[in-house]
């Protein structure tokens, strides 16, 4: 699988040279090829939905629409974003722990295919709104497993979190469903972990969830049509060349996926992470109390992921030789460097004490794997700094 690593020449050809560089670059052609490889690796019974919380850029949504089964959303705003970007016919499924009357009315008005219900109150609310509209809303029940579950960067189930219906309460939910005439039960939703890098362990977790769904359906005399196993396929920001073993995961899960069951996945990060970079110009370099800092045109208000996950994000420094000023050019060589942004907070750090051979004011820092949970989760207007450019480049940059 490819990883976007643009050269200085390629960046210079597409960024605005009249002001300090700050941009997200997206390679849509490489992203398309990557998605097609993943979709082609799945069992015939499986469908891949794109979880747009990872990156809801309309250009990306339009590119993905012909190649994925549809889109998974978690808010009314995301429903409208998908419809505006891709039109009225694209499939949408909706999850998330908090729903309102307005949400459910919009689900019905916008032709959302299915709601993933996360509590008994949500079950009753969805039934009431659908009944008032004189329609029937298909649903899945989201399960929060009793645990323990395999380790991953984030855990949404197998622990006391706000997500889903506790495994012990699923029988109560299924009994309540019998009185919800405006809802149609179609199956179960499991999104238990996020960013799991253990493909074999993740396949074992999904197999257990499938067995549990089938046992509930048998016990309660239900027609089980759909099991959504969420996403959670990991990336490794410490090793940009590492890849989740999609083929191995599929092989391990295949014996459990056979039959008439519609198996669904809703992945985000593994699709979009690799084919975008965040490029920032170094505006200043200085030493403070024995530590070297590079100050960037940009920061966590554009790309919050490193701060959110408390990691050093992978980067390369791209040299620019031009220096327009008559004074000496600030630089550091063969030292540990902290890459900090332009915000008035010490938390605005994208990488801390990382060894670098050379960095100078005017050089560019290119943060790799910047296509997921970067711009979309960032506090864009804190201090009202300028937004970065968004640039879409072709396969020549890959």
Q: How far apart are the first and last CA of the chain?
A: 11
The DSSP code sequence of 13-49 is TTS-TTS--EEEEEEHHHHHHHHHHHHHHS-TTEEEE
What's the rounded Cα separation, in Å, for the pair 171 and 359?
A: 60
Nearest by Cα to 56 from 392, 374, 367: 374
What would the two tokens of residue 189 be? 């939703």
What's the rounded Cα separation, in Å, for the pair 64 and 60?
A: 6
Q: Which helix (H) or strand (E) holds 226?
A: strand 226-228
Place of tokens 């060589």: 333
Nearest by Cα to 96 from 126, 121, 116: 116
| Residue 201: strand pairing partners | none
Listed as own residue / partner, the contacts of 174-181 with beta carbons closer than 8 Å and 24 or more positions apart are 174/141, 174/216, 174/220, 174/222, 176/120, 176/123, 176/124, 177/123, 177/141, 180/123, 180/124, 180/126, 180/127, 181/127, 181/131
Place of tokens 């009994």: 175
What's the rounded Cα separation, in Å, for the pair 152 and 205?
A: 12
Catalytic residue among 267, 332, 344, 384: 344
* 206 a catalytic residue: no
| Residue 391: strand pairing partners | 25
Work out the angle at residue 132's Cα, subtended by the Cα atoms of residues 131 and 133, and round it to the nearest 5 degrees.
Answer: 90
- Catalytic site positions: 344
């Amino acid at each position: 699988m490819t990883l976007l690593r643009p050269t200085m020449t390629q960046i210079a050809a597409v960024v605005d040279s009249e002001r300090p560089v700050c941009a997200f670059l997206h390679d849509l052609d490489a992203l398309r090829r990557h998605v097609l490889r993943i979709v082609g690796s799945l069992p015939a019974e499986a469908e891949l939905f794109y979880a747009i919380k990872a990156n809801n850029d309309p250009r990306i949504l339009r590119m993905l629409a012909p190649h994925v089964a549809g889109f998974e959303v978690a808010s009314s705003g995301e429903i409208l974003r998908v419809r505006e970007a891709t039109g009225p016919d694209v499939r949408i499924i909706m999850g998330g722990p908090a729903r309102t009357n307005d949400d459910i009315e919009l689900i019905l008005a916008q032709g959302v295919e299915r709601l993933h219900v996360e509590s008994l109150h949500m079950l009753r609310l969805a039934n009431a709104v659908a009944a008032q509209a004189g329609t029937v809303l298909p649903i899945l029940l989201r399960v929060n497993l009793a645990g323990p579950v395999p380790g991953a960067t984030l855990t949404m189930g197998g622990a006391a979190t706000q997500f889903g219906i506790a495994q012990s309460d699923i029988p109560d939910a299924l009994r309540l469903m019998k009185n919800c005439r405006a809802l149609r039960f179609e199956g179960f939703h499991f999104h238990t972990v996020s960013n799991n890098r253990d493909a074999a362990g993740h396949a074992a977790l999904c197999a257990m969830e499938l067995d549990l769904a089938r046992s509930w359906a048998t016990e309660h005399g239900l027609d089980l049509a759909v099991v959504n196993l969420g996403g959670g396929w990991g990336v490794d920001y410490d090793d940009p060349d590492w890849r989740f073993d999609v083929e191995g995961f599929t092989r391990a899960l295949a014996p459990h996926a056979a039959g008439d069951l519609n198996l669904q996945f809703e992945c985000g990060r593994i699709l979009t992470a690799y084919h975008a970079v965040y490029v920032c110009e170094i505006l200043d370099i200085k030493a403070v109390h024995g530590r070297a800092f590079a100050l960037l045109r940009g920061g966590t208000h554009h790309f919050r992921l490193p701060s959110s996950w408390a990691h050093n994000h992978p980067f390369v420094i791209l040299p620019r030789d031009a220096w327009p000023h008559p004074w000496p050019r600030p630089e550091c060589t063969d030292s540990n460097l902290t890459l900090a942004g332009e915000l008035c907070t010490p938390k605005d750090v994208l990488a801390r004490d990382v060894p670098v051979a050379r960095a100078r004011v005017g050089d560019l820092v290119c943060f790799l794997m910047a296509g997921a949970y970067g711009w979309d989760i960032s506090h864009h207007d804190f201090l009202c700094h300028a937004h970065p450019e968004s640039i879409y480049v072709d396969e020549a940059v890959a």
